[in-house]
A and B are shown apart, each in its own frame.
Chain A
Amino acid sequence: MIKSNSLFKKIADNDSPRRWLVLALIRAAAVITCVVAAVFFLIRIVPGDPAKMILGEHSTPEAIQALHHSLGLDLPLWEQFTRFVQNLFTHGDTGASIAWGTSTRELIAERAPVTLLLIVMASVLAILVALVLATLAATNKDRLLDHLIRIFPTITLGMPVFWVGLLLILFFSVRLGWFPVGGVGEGVAGTLYSLTLPAITVAFSQIPTLVRSLRAQMLEVLESDFVVTLKAAGIPNRVILTKHVLRNSALPTLMLLGVNISYLIGGTLVVEQVFGIKGIGSLLFSAISKRDFPVIQGIALYCAISVVIISLLIEISSWLLDPRTKGKQ
């Protein structure tokens, strides 16, 4: 999403900020259009008849016919697509759920808060831990601590996120009894408390990439001329670090989180399954087991559109915050 394609970039590079913004919006709109088309065709890449898949192998031809009609599968392809888009614009969803009967939008809205909370908690946690580790690594460059922190991504690369969750449950819930084994607690405090382990699990998968690029970013700032000057002027290291290095690293961290938001959402869906959290992830799996195509489509659509919009917002805000673009406004 962030990586621009050459045609747009060429125009954007030598032109006004307003034009850059318009082009970024056009690109996001183009991607969203493709996303909608992709979700629509999702049901059609299924080998065989989706109606048969929903009803089972031994269903009567009449029942299949009826389901075809109610799903609109008996219409010409183009008309199906217009109906799909129309429904999307008027109701903001992908039709009624086959299993639950209610609209997919309502189902998703009901489950979304827990998932969102988990994503936010995991992001905050990942950023905090990554900042600490990256600072330790960058300020101890090429010393033991730096090497230890740099081995971290190599080891964690092959760690399945659900397995990490299981180990955390084993250690913190089963052995130490600090946290519940699964589910979501009551009230604000209870919810936050029960989401702690899941959030740590999701954050764990994000930290290595964050640390790797934050460390590189910090080293660049630490070795830059202005920091050397500050040091020469006798400004204490701690002040340089918190006032200048961290501030300069904030922007790239934000960008990186934007790039990773898609991974973050995907990981959260899997982790929910491990901890038995009734969020979007568990909705996806029950929809899959019930072969509830409209719900699967709805989840795919909402996730993808959120990713596009979040990436766009982060792209715009980091562009606004970047001191280098200030002169051009």
Chain B
Amino acid sequence: MNTTLLDLQQENQGVLKRILNTPSLLVGSIMFLLLIGVAVFAPFITPFEPSEQNLYAILQPPSSEHWLGTDQLGRDLFTRLIYAARTDLKIMVLAEIIPFCTGIFLGMLAGYYGKWVDTVISLVTDTFIAFPFYLIVIIVAFASGAGQKGIYITFILVGWIVFARVTRGLSASFRKQEWVASAQTMGIPGVKIILRHLLPNVLPQAVVVLMTDMVGLLVAIVTLGYLGIGIAPPTPDWGTMISDGQSFITTAWWLSAVPGIAVVYTGIALSLVGDGLADLWRRK
């Protein structure tokens, strides 16, 4: 009992040490956790409400009272920025769960069984890929009713493809290896081999892809908001903030510039985490 606990502790220390030795993972994680912290504690950070209007103080430049100035309705830009982080990051994470699972599962099925299973799944994938990403996102989001529900439906429909492609290739290469063959001769059913043995092996790569894919998803959410078929006002969202500010680009350019910087910041954080994880697992 004691020894196993000690082993566990040592292993944990090893993991911590490895994380500390991967600067991109460390920096990326800190950047991302900081963002999550700001989003979660938004009500404690700012004295304003995100939709609180003050028509006596519209389009103000940054000041000590309004850190990033105010928009055309006198709403505090900084407040809206961090409240928008709540909406956008929440949707980004939630919308990725189902496609992540279905994509990995379908990819493993196609890679493990090959033959007609692979042909059918690949045909479906090829069909989806033929449609330009933003075209399909815009049409499905519109058709399933603009708003948050539309975003979820859209990504359940199109988000799995990336993961299916990655895990399919990996699974197909594992299938030819001895340990899978020996599991097969022992009479372990295919589904069990997939879940018990293939899944742990494809998961790291899929998680690396997940990080960059989340950035793509966030950009898509923001783009839909910008185009007016995403998150509906008055819910704060970086995309609608950019499009609102576009009318004042000549006088108050920061209204559009700042929300975009928030998206870019999130993108840098997540892609550093992704790079770092890839490094970490490659070295192992």
A binding-site residues for B, Cβ under 8 Å: 1, 3-8, 27, 30-31, 34-35, 38, 42, 45-47, 153-155, 157-163, 166-167, 169-170, 174, 262-267, 269-270, 273, 284-285, 288, 296, 299-300, 303-305, 307-308
Contacts and interface: CB of A to CB of B under 8 A. Distances in A.
B260 A167 contact: yes
Given A38-B131, A158-B265, A288-B139, 16 more contacts: A5-B110, A5-B119, A6-B118, A34-B127, A35-B131, A42-B143, A45-B143, A46-B144, A153-B271, A154-B271, A154-B275, A155-B267, A263-B133, A288-B229, A300-B135, A303-B132
How many chain B residues sit at the interface, stated as a range, is: 35 or more
The 8 closest A-B pairs by CB, nearest first: A158-B267, A266-B134, A266-B132, A5-B122, A163-B260, A34-B127, A265-B132, A304-B130
Nearest to B220: A160
A157 B129 CA distance: 20
A325 B27 CA distance: 46
Given A154-B275, A155-B264, A269 B219 contact: no
The CB with the most chain B CB atoms within 10 A, among A7, A47, A157, is that of A157
A31 B139 contact: no
A296 B267 CA distance: 31
Contact of B131 (A155, A288, A307): A307
A158 B132 contact: no
Interface in B102-121: 110, 114-116, 118-119
14 contacts: A5-B119, A31-B123, A34-B126, A42-B143, A154-B275, A158-B267, A159-B260, A160-B242, A162-B223, A163-B260, A166-B246, A262-B133, A299-B135, A300-B139
A157 B215 CA distance: 7
A8 B114 CA distance: 11
The CB with the most chain A CB atoms within 10 A, among B119, B127, B218, B223, is that of B127
A162 B272 CA distance: 23
Q: Is the interface of B mostly helix, strand, loop or mixed?
A: helix
A3 to B, nearest CB: 7
B263 interface: yes
Given A5-B119, A30-B123, A262-B133, A273 B139 contact: no
B127 A270 contact: no
Interface string B233-260: 0000001001000100110010011001
A166 B256 contact: yes
A153 B212 CA distance: 11
Interface string B263-284: 1111110111001000000000
B242 A1 contact: no
A158 B270 contact: yes
A38 B253 contact: no
Contacts of B100: none
A205 B253 CA distance: 22
B163 interface: no
Contacts of A300: 131, 135-136, 139
Given A30-B123, A169-B249, A7 B131 contact: no
B268 A154 contact: yes
B119 A7 contact: yes
A301 B242 CA distance: 31
B129 A1 contact: yes
A163 B263 contact: yes
Given A3-B165, A31-B126, A159-B260, A170 B249 contact: yes
Contacts of B142: 288
B271 A158 contact: yes
A263 B267 CA distance: 18
Given A263-B132, A288-B229, A163 B256 contact: yes
B129 A159 contact: no
A158 B215 contact: yes
A43 to B, nearest CB: 8
B145 A163 contact: no
B275 A158 contact: no
Contacts of B222: 160, 163
Given A174-B250, A262-B130, A162 B135 contact: no
Contacts of A174: 249-250, 253
Contact of A157 (B122, B256, B271): B271
B114 A284 contact: no
B157 to A, nearest CB: 8
B213 to A, nearest CB: 11
A157 B267 contact: yes
B226 interface: yes
B223 A269 contact: no
Contact of A303 (B123, B129, B135): B135
A157 B212 contact: yes
